[in-house]
């Protein structure tokens, strides 16, 4: 089994030395300089990851990792824990939001069961269950060290086994109670207070919100003084969050862009970046969630969201919408004409390269 | 030839009477209520246009209308007028930004020459030239009434001839000098000052910017007191702006969504909405341009941009990125499971429909 944390520590930055050459290439494309705004930044970052020109990103997929959480027993979600498995069945049948949205974005969807609390394998879902849900982080460490390592490897392998078929990976999650786990993970990794990272998740009432805040605060108090990333994931993590960390490390290791989703998925991505800052070079934000901690996570990673549509569903639904945008950016460098080869007049009296 | 203004006046609103039924349908989908944020508003509006469920919007295209502007002689662009025809050739060859971005978004691109000032038809471009560029709006009315009507019909027909093949239409433009025309059209339609609508376009210097402001101010002074939409288009319009107005009217008339691009394309869309407020029901914004007048236009139409990426290229490059998002929204209503048919537990202690 791959030691994901060790692999993660050895990852190097994207090819930042090529930055000025890529900027020059962008400046030669048949359009006013800078006129595609942030799309040009996306193109530039893709070129540093994949080389210039990057490949088209037509072969794209979403990995939606699912798991249950012992903390759901504390009634921190508007839904019962059984909904995780039920929603996995819907997604396995191709009828969840992520499936239908992926259809619009020409992306394949793979739902990976890392730890759903169900009796049997779920139809249409990849069965990689490490254990049937975590323990309750409100009363004990959620996952032991060996299972953290296994869940990290599940995510890592989910990418590695698809490297021949897909050029870019979006990550998402499914798991009732996991916004509490993601809040605790984020607070521990960033050293911030529970109120900065606790939101209303699926739509909880005031009482449930107070419980959530208290549970996160209590869990943070039980945390070792300067915990490792693996310790944070073990104390308060989720199996699907570990898998997302593993997928992030795999993308960086194999020089693929990884597109994060909302607050919960980004907690897993953040854990990877906290293990090794260089991993941030491979991460792209998609949307800005309504969950309050998401902006903190993205700021720490150093990526800005491409759009803000008030989404808070998870499953990878924000990330999947970003995939055509990344593909469009990649194609600017791969397919667009330059002023020179197209015989287009450069600007009159322009300063510097067009 | 179709009388576009007359057809436009007769357009009725989308099926707003169905709004509560569509909201109920959205509330039954297997996700927390409202958790897809503005994507749900997009889905709802699509259902009012096409019926519930709307079709998938997999058959999508961009209509990029191109024309030259006499006002380019006033040096209000960073590029010479010859660049319009040159860029049409690049787009006709499939190598402009709009072509490569459309490839990422699974959209077809049609470049329509409504009035490029070139000796011959342009390869790869649909030849519907009304005349070789407009007159100089800084010194005389840009287009006579008969040519306005012809250019409107070019845009109308560009949609109507594609109704069997495409379910949704994005609009874009190509034309050196057309941000000056769009600024004058917008100022005249909305009754605002030139400084509210004049921006740097392709990237002009201070002197060119001052000229642009003065030209727009002078043109507004020559405008009739309460001009009709056709008069505004004739005095200061562009042939490609007229075509976009025509395409907008055709979409509304045939109950298709039309996705606008940046400031210049939106001036054409705005003219349609000013002819008949009901047309706004069929209009979707894509990005928020850096041009200052774009926000004013969108606010008047009553649509909000889906993303803001600092783009200012035109051609339909912002609009095309919105097409997968619209398709994703349509598919929520068409393809997603409901709580009832999927056997997923509704929220515990929830209030009202989930």
Is A91 a residue whose pLDDT tops 60? yes
Q: Does residue A317 contact residue A98 with C-beta atoms inside 8 Å? A: yes
Is A349 a residue whose pLDDT tops 60? no
For chain A, what percentages of helix, strand and coil (3-state, to nearest 5) are there? 50, 10, 40
Is B151 a residue whose pLDDT tops 70? yes
The pLDDT, as a whole number, for residue A347 is 72
Across the interface, whether the CB atoms of B203 and A96 are under 8 A apart is answered no
**Unique residue bearing structure tokens 């953040």:** A270
Q: Does residue A248 contact residue A283 with C-beta atoms inside 8 Å? A: yes
Is A150 a residue whose pLDDT tops 70? yes
Q: What is the DSSP letter of B63?
A: E
- Beta-bridged to residue A287, according to DSSP, are A307
The three-state secondary structure class of B110 is: strand
d(CA A40, CA B230): 38
Is B354 a residue whose pLDDT tops 60? no
User: Which tens digits make up the pLDDT trace of A227-238?
Assistant: 999 999 999 999
Which of B31, B78, B335 has its CB closest to that of A313?
A: B31
Using a CB-CB cut-off of 8 Å, the residues of chain A touching B103 are 56, 327, 331, 335
Q: Give the mean model confidence (pLDDT) for residues A329-349.
A: 88
Across the interface, whether the CB atoms of A32 and B96 are under 8 A apart is answered no
The pLDDT, as a whole number, for residue B200 is 86
User: Which tens digits make up the pLDDT trace of B215-240?
Assistant: 999 999 999 999 999 999 999 999 99
Using a CB-CB cut-off of 8 Å, the residues of chain B touching A76 are none
Which of B101, B331, B342 has its CB closest to that of A328?
A: B101
Q: Does residue B230 contact residue B145 with C-beta atoms inside 8 Å? A: yes
Q: Give the mean model confidence (pLDDT) for residues A125-154.
A: 98
The pLDDT, as a whole number, for residue A348 is 60
Using a CB-CB cut-off of 8 Å, the residues of chain B touching A337 are 90, 93, 95-96
User: Which tens digits make up the pLDDT trace of A274-322?
Assistant: 999 999 999 999 999 999 999 999 999 999 999 999 999 999 999 999 9
The C-alpha of B322 sits at a distance from chain A's nearest C-alpha, in angstroms, of: 9
The pLDDT, as a whole number, for residue B203 is 83
Is A351 a residue whose pLDDT tops 70? no
Task: Indicate if B315 belongs to the active site.
Answer: yes
Name the phi and psi angles at B258, rounded to 5.
-120, 130
User: Which tens digits make up the pLDDT trace of B243-274?
Assistant: 999 999 999 999 999 999 999 999 999 999 99
In B37-52, which positions are buried (b, 16+ CB within 10 angstroms) versus exposed (e)?
bbbbebbbbbbbbbeb
* pTM score over 0.80: yes
Across the interface, whether the CB atoms of B87 and A344 are under 8 A apart is answered yes
Is B353 a residue whose pLDDT tops 80? no
Please, which pLDDT band fits residue B348 given cuts at 50, 70 and 90?
low
User: Which tens digits make up the pLDDT trace of A174-208?
Assistant: 999 999 999 999 999 999 999 999 998 778 899 99
In A297-328, which positions are buried (b, 16+ CB within 10 angstroms) versus exposed (e)?
bbebbebebbbbbbbbbbbbbbbbbbbbbbbb
Closest residue in chain A to residue B32, using alpha carbons only: A202
**B88 closest CA partner among A254, A337, A4, A7:** A337
Tell me what the pLDDT averaged over chain A comes to: 96
d(CA B66, CA B142): 16
The pair of structure tokens assigned to A283 is 């991460």
Helices B239-253, B145-160: axis angle to 10 degrees equals 50
The pLDDT, as a whole number, for residue B70 is 98
The pair of structure tokens assigned to A354 is 């067009």
Tell me which of A353 and A281 has the higher pLDDT: A281
The C-alpha of B21 sits at a distance from chain A's nearest C-alpha, in angstroms, of: 20
The pLDDT, as a whole number, for residue B226 is 93
The C-alpha of A274 sits at a distance from chain B's nearest C-alpha, in angstroms, of: 28
CA triplet A194, A197, A199: central angle to 5 degrees?
Answer: 105
């Amino acid at each position: 089994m791959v030691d994901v944390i060790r692999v993660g520590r050895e990852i190097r930055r994207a090819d930042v030395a090529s930055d000025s050459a890529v900027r020059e290439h962008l400046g030669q494309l048949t359009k006013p300089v800078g006129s595609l705004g942030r799309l040009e930044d996306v193109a530039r970052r893709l070129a540093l990851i994949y080389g210039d020109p990057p490949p088209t990103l037509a072969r794209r997929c979403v990995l939606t990792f699912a798991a249950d959480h012992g903390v759901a027993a504390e009634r921190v979600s508007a839904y019962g824990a059984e909904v995780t498995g039920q929603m996995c069945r819907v997604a396995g049948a191709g009828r969840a939001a992520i499936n239908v949205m992926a259809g619009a974005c020409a992306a394949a969807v793979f739902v990976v069961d890392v730890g759903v609390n169900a009796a049997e394998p779920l139809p249409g879902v990849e069965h990689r269950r490490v254990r049937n849900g975590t323990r309750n982080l409100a009363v004990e460490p959620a996952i032991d060290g060996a299972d953290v390592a296994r869940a990290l490897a599940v995510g890592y392998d989910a990418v590695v086994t698809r490297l021949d078929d897909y050029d870019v990976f979006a990550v998402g999650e499914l798991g009732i109670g996991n916004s509490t786990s993601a809040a605790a993970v984020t607070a521990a990794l960033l050293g911030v207070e529970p109120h900065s990272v606790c939101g209303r998740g699926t739509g909880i009432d005031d009482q449930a919100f107070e419980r959530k805040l208290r549970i996160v605060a209590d869990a943070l108090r039980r945390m070792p003084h300067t915990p490792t990333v693996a310790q944070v994931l073990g104390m308060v993590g989720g199996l699907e969050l570990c898998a997302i960390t593993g997928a992030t490390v795999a993308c960086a290791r194999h020089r693929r862009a990884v597109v994060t989703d909302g607050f919960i998925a980004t907690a897993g991505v953040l854990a990877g970046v906290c293990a090794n800052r260089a991993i941030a070079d491979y991460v792209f934000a998609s949307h800005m969630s309504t969950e309050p901690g998401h902006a903190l996570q993205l700021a720490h990673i150093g990526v800005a969201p491409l759009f803000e549509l008030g989404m808070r569903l998870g499953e990878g639904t924000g990330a999947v919408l970003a995939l055509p945008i990344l593909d469009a950016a990649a194609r600017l460098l791969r397919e667009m004409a330059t002023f020179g080869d197209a015989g287009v007049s450069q600007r009159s009296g322009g300063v510097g390269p067009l």
